[in-house]
Amino acid sequence: MYRPNDDYLKLPGSYLFSTIAKKVNAYQAANPDKKIIRLGIGDVTQPLCPAVIDALHKAVDEQADPSTFRGYAPDLGYEFLRKAVAENDFRARGCNIADDEIFISDGAKSDSANIQEIFDKNSKIAVCDPVYPVYVDSNVMAGRCGDYDQATGIWSNVIYMPCTAENGFAPELPKETPDLIYLCFPNNPTGAAVTKDQLQVWVDYANKVGAVIIFDAAYEAYISEDNIPHSIFECEGARTCAIELRSFSKNAGFTGLRLGATIIPHDLKVTVDGKEVELHSLWARRHGTKYNGAPYIVQRAGEACYSDAGKTQIKEMVAKYMKNATFILNGLKGAGYEAFGGVNSPYVWLRTPGDMTSWEFFDHLLENANVVGTPGSGFGPSGEHYFRLTAFGSYENSVEALERIKAL
């Protein structure tokens, strides 16, 4: 008789955003006349920029011509895109990253879930709390996280690094030594960012204790302050301790196209049984075995993001979302809420009123304002009594949502 993977059975409930979708769909079915404004899931709403659309059309036409047709993509990514990513996102910022240290994928979510596969099952993970739930869930599936306490929301074998208003939403170095450290800055969900000096402390720590930092830079395009690093490789020593995840979803609107990149320097090595092993080679082996490459059409669209026109158009798109973020942040504060984020990130993080739990506040907003957000507890135990709103809607919907919230 077959058995399922017992580690999957440990996962509590369904994925956070699946749970939200079910609750919203049930409410909409019962109240078909209500206009629901969705500021929950971090999906974009602006159309793809013209430079990307032009590149997509051109690539589609190439697929209709035998002389330019492309079949399987290289599993590590086409050279034209790897070079564009390395040159524009890293070397232009003074980061020493080579083209062949870039791995192209179908998105940062896939990579953030799959990167744990190249590490030992007994590796101890440390995560910011609250943080994007995929980091913990994927390690639960791999059997690393121990047992789940339903009452506290804590996994027994995970090192939680609380990020709350009291510490400026910046984690402190853990007292217990981890093997893998997940950092996401600008942060999802809190919207907080760390300075280069703050990030350097983590790089120095990881090199000292022999840990690897998995750095999620999905929201770097939203950084507006000069002292905030766009990449962990701006820090000295990061090449020997860090892996960086990149996304085209939030900067260029590729949530539907699916495209991302993971950067693993050749200098990131570990000695096993007297033999030096590059993590780069392990990820390349995993990629080659389990992945057939992002589509040619989509990779050409990604390349267009780095053209002069693409860069300008993407900045304009980001500015529209940040206009929403500024409005939401200031509107909440003006209504008496304690709100954070919204400066270097498209997310606004607020403290729930009174003693409301984050799910109670979710239900309150949905039923009384017909506005959807994300309960903070879904991002980790320290997210309880907090709530996330996104700036990815239209400006008009952002204004209407705040009017409804203020009227409560």
| Residue 28 confidence (pLDDT) | 92
Structure tokens belonging to residue 365: 């907003």
Nearest 5°: CA angle at 275, between 272 and 281? 85
Q: Tokens 């192209």 belong to which residue?
A: 104
CB 160 within 8 A of CB 193: no
* Closest listed residue to residue 86, CA positions, set 312, 222, 264, 218: 264
Instruction: Look at residue 13 and tell me whether its pLDDT is greater than 80.
Output: no
Strand intervals (E) in 122-203: 125-129, 148-149, 154-155, 158-162, 180-184
Q: Tokens 């990449």 belong to which residue?
A: 231
Nearest 5°: CA angle at 246, between 143 and 277? 55
Mean residue pLDDT of the chain comes to 96
| Residue 43 confidence (pLDDT) | 85
The SS3 call for residue 213 is: strand
What is the C-alpha separation between 121 and 216, in angstroms, rounded? Answer: 21
pLDDT tier, 18 (very low <50, low <70, confident <90, very high otherwise) = confident
What is the C-alpha separation between 29 and 232, in angstroms, rounded? Answer: 45
Give the model confidence (pLDDT) of 213-237 as tens digits: 999 999 999 999 999 999 999 999 9
pLDDT tier, 294 (very low <50, low <70, confident <90, very high otherwise) = very high
Considering the entire predicted model, what is its pTM?
A: 0.95
For residue 347, what are the β-bridge partners? 390
CB 54 within 8 A of CB 48: no
Instruction: Look at residue 41 and tell me whether its pLDDT is greater than 80.
Output: no
What is the C-alpha separation between 346 and 289, in angstroms, rounded? Answer: 35
CB 96 within 8 A of CB 239: yes
* Closest listed residue to residue 187, CA positions, set 257, 263, 131: 131
CB 328 within 8 A of CB 391: yes
**CA 303 from centre of chain:** 21
Instruction: Look at residue 17 and tell me whether its pLDDT is greater than 90.
Output: no
What is the C-alpha separation between 271 and 266, in angstroms, rounded? Answer: 14
Strand 275-278 to 102-105 pairing:
unpaired
**Domains of the chain as residue ranges with CATH:** 10-47+309-407 (3.90.1150.10), 53-308 (3.40.640.10)
* Closest listed residue to residue 209, CA positions, set 171, 170, 181: 181
Structure tokens belonging to residue 284: 């390349």
**CA 140 from centre of chain:** 18
Torsions phi, psi of 287, nearest 5? -60, -45
Give the model confidence (pLDDT) of 94-111 as tens digits: 999 999 999 999 999 999
* Closest listed residue to residue 218, CA positions, set 241, 254, 247, 239: 247
* Closest listed residue to residue 305, CA positions, set 317, 293, 290: 317
Give the model confidence (pLDDT) of 356-403 as tens digits: 999 999 999 999 999 999 999 999 999 999 999 999 999 999 999 999
CB 125 within 8 A of CB 178: yes
Element (H, E) at 48: none
| Residue 80 confidence (pLDDT) | 98
Residues 6+ apart with CB under 8 A from 106: 258, 259, 260, 291, 294
Structure tokens belonging to residue 236: 């000295």
* Closest listed residue to residue 179, CA positions, set 250, 261, 235, 124: 124
Other residues' Cβ atoms within 10 Å of the Cβ of residue 9: 8
| Residue 21 confidence (pLDDT) | 86
Give the model confidence (pLDDT) of 138-188 as tens digits: 999 999 999 999 999 999 999 999 999 999 999 999 999 999 999 999 999
| Residue 16 confidence (pLDDT) | 80
Percent of the chain residues past pLDDT 70, beyond the cut: 100
Average pLDDT over residues 109-121: 97
